[in-house]
Amino acid sequence: MIKKLRIVLAAVHFEPGPDAVPLGAASVAAALKQAFRDAVEVVLAESFAAAGPEALVREISEKAADAVGFSLYSWNREVCAAAAKMLRRDPVNKGLFVFCGGPDASARSGGLLVSQGGFFDSVVKGEGEEQAVWLIRERFPWVENVTHSEKPEKQIGAVGLENLPSPWLDRTLSCQGLRGRGVLWELARGCPYCCAYCYESKGDRRVRYFGEHRIRRELELFICERPAYVFILDPTFNIDEKRGLRILDMIIEKSRAAGFMQPSRRNPIHWHFEIRGELVTKAQARRFALLGASLQIGLQSADADVCAHSGRSFDRKRFSAGIERLNREGVVFGIDLIYGLPRDTLKGFMRSLDYALSLRPNNIDLFRLSVLPGTALWDWAPNLGIRMNPSAPYEVEETTEFPAADLDTAEALSGAADVFYNRGRAVAWFTSAVKPLRMTPSVFLSRFMISQEYRSLTERAACDSLTVEKAQLQFLEACYRDAKKAQLVPALRDLVRYHGAWGRALAEGKKTKLSFTYNPEMILGAGVFDIEKFAASVKPCPGQLVVGPE
């Protein structure tokens, strides 16, 4: 009896979280198992970047592998390379075949191979499923029970998705015990746009979809197992209106059949999509709302000229209209911005931040530009005056229009926005609270950035939402006093504290006892959008109440 070939595929996650799922490695594992059946045994080894290479090597060594493959991304390249070095230098692993693949390996393969001074015997470029099958055939020709009669060409292009096995359906990724955990659900590959900072920018701009039969079967599995989160991997889910609605209707139909959609119950599965803001329709917004889904929307910059120089289009009117449709339906969404893009400036970034916050997103994610190998921007960088860190994560250090000091200011401003707006759950009251101060949101957050309240929060190892709320109020009240608006502080306190209590009730299940100056039903009314008019027209009605999840 010929012993099975034992292959370990290693995945190093950026950080712990519900989306720390080794889908890429698992997809390759599923393809290997389909190709070689009982002749191979493929197992996964997982770790986190912060744990270093030692933790990963321990995970791999326990599995007694004949071959080890690493998935390289910008955040884990150094850890994986160090782990490969440690494995190769251990005499116990004599004859071990070590290979790698993934986006960072495909884009920057130089120096990885043993022949180049690296520690990998081979590099898989591009999508890994068929390439890995070819590689194992070439390296281990004795492997039997091969299901394909012909070898694929070496370094073939993008493969069709219809023949790829599902790592969920074949149980490569365990579906047992998913409750409370997350799922990555891949629906498509590719993007029709050509943003210069994205890996897709140098591709053929095709969008390839997994078949709806496979999607339906995976959905049925998820509905049965009830993971806490399902993150949909499709960078522009709503690019195909009809297909997107069919999938949303499928999710809603299966959720209803499982009893998830009852008015008195909260859906036990949270669905998260990436969409294009300009393409949002009423039909999409209604279904996202019905499902209770959350969305992430890439704005990146609100300057059409800046977008154009990165190969991206931006239509402010259409984008605003799409976001307004989401707001009318009460859909939860976040907006992404990038600072350091070609042609952008600190002032331009602040204008983009002002625009993004005017759309009332539930969260805003702000990133320093990473000039990733394999993107068009990586090739253009020398001619555009972009200086970036040559090592992962390849963050921009300076551009012609965005000097290093301004980038550092933008980074600090991003941190302040994250604390005040995101962690402080300020979406419901931020615009109302800032309006009486007669300053833009970015200027307000710039002042918060240098305040004692912000410094005290950043100096803490951890702080809960109530601590953040107290710091928010202290800073706001000082701003109101400086602006000679102290008479508005009681209304401001009621607004912030009431929404803060509701946020803790819904997100943390906590009760909060409140003392208030105005009738809380009035605080939730539309009139409080303008605090000055509210305080001038509504009489105080002091009292107390308890806000809780029930």
Residue 522: the pLDDT is 80
Measured CA angle at 33 (ends 27, 39), to 5 deg: 155
- Average pLDDT of the segment spanning 465-485: 96
CB neighbour class for 224 (10 Å; exposed up to 12, middle 13-18, buried from 19):
exposed
Determine the length of the chain.
550
154 confidence band (pLDDT: 50, 70, 90): very low
Strand duo 182-186 + 122-123: pairing? unpaired
Task: Note the pLDDT tens digit of each residue in 16-53.
Answer: 888 889 999 999 999 999 999 888 999 999 999 999 99
Q: Which of 378, 371, 441 is nearest to 407 (CA)?
A: 371
Residue 147: the pLDDT is 46
**pLDDT at residue 156 above 70?**
no
Residue 494: the pLDDT is 93
Residue 177: the pLDDT is 58
Task: Note the pLDDT tens digit of each residue in 65-95.
Answer: 999 999 999 889 999 999 999 999 998 888 9
Token pair for residue 66?
A: 């004949």
Strands annotated E in 207-265: 208-209, 229-233
Token pair for residue 477?
A: 């009240």
Measured CA angle at 29 (ends 28, 30), to 5 deg: 90
Dihedral class, residue 145 (left if φ above 0, else alpha if ψ from -120 to 50, else beta): left
Pick the CATH number of 175-423 from 3.80.30.20, 1.20.1250.20, 3.40.50.11540, 3.40.50.300: 3.80.30.20
Paired strand residues for 209:
188
- In CATH, the number for domain 5-139 is 3.40.50.280
Residue 72: the pLDDT is 94
Paired strand residues for 237:
none
Residue 158: the pLDDT is 47
Residue 157: the pLDDT is 44
Integer Cα distance of 41 and 146 in angstroms: 14
Sequence ranges of the chain with CATH classification 3.40.50.280? 5-139
Sequence ranges of the chain with CATH classification 3.80.30.20? 175-423
174 versus 46: the higher-pLDDT residue is 46
pLDDT above 90 covers a percentage of the chain that reads 73
Task: Note the pLDDT tens digit of each residue in 291-347.
Answer: 999 999 999 999 999 999 999 999 999 999 999 999 999 999 999 999 999 999 999
Residues 6+ apart with CB under 8 A from 139: 67, 97, 121, 122
Token pair for residue 376?
A: 């068009």
H/E stretch holding 217 reads helix 212-225
177 versus 155: the higher-pLDDT residue is 177
- Which of 49-53, 60-64, 146-150, 390-394 is predicted with the least confidence, judged by mean pLDDT? 146-150
H/E stretch holding 374 reads none
- Average pLDDT of the segment spanning 391-412: 95
Phi and psi angles of residue 246, each rounded to the nearest 5 degrees, phi first: -60, -45
Q: Which of 277, 272, 182 is nearest to 233 (CA)?
A: 272
Strand duo 67-71 + 5-13: pairing? parallel
Residues 6+ apart with CB under 8 A from 408: none
- Indicate the DSSP class of residue 373: T
- Which of 57-66, 123-132, 159-168, 354-363 is predicted with the least confidence, judged by mean pLDDT? 159-168
Integer Cα distance of 213 and 166 in angstroms: 11
201 confidence band (pLDDT: 50, 70, 90): low
Cα–Cα separations (whole angstroms), residue 479 to 99, 149, 438, 440, 445 = 58, 73, 11, 13, 12
Q: Is the peptide bond before 393 cis (omega within 30 degrees of 0)?
A: yes
Token pair for residue 191?
A: 């993007």
Q: Where are the alpha helices (DSSP H) in 260-341?
A: 282-291, 304-308, 316-329
**How many CB atoms are located within 10 Å of the residue 514 CB?**
16
Token pair for residue 278?
A: 């300009």
Task: Note the pLDDT tens digit of each residue in 251-279.
Answer: 999 999 988 877 766 778 999 999 999 99
Q: Where are the alpha helices (DSSP H) in 62-150?
A: 77-89, 103-107, 128-139
Three-class SS of 380-415: HHHHHCCEECCCCCCEEEECCCCCHHHHHHHHHHHH
- Which of 33-37, 390-394, 408-412, 413-417 is predicted with the least confidence, judged by mean pLDDT? 390-394
Residue 155: the pLDDT is 46
Strand duo 270-275 + 229-233: pairing? parallel
Angle, helix 465-482 to helix 489-508, in steps of 10 degrees: 160
463 confidence band (pLDDT: 50, 70, 90): confident
- Indicate the DSSP class of residue 152: P
Angle, helix 77-89 to helix 52-61, in steps of 10 degrees: 50
Residue 346: the pLDDT is 98
Q: Which of 538, 511, 508, 514 is nearest to 526 (CA)?
A: 538
Task: Note the pLDDT tens digit of each residue in 203-232.
Answer: 667 889 999 999 999 999 999 999 999 999
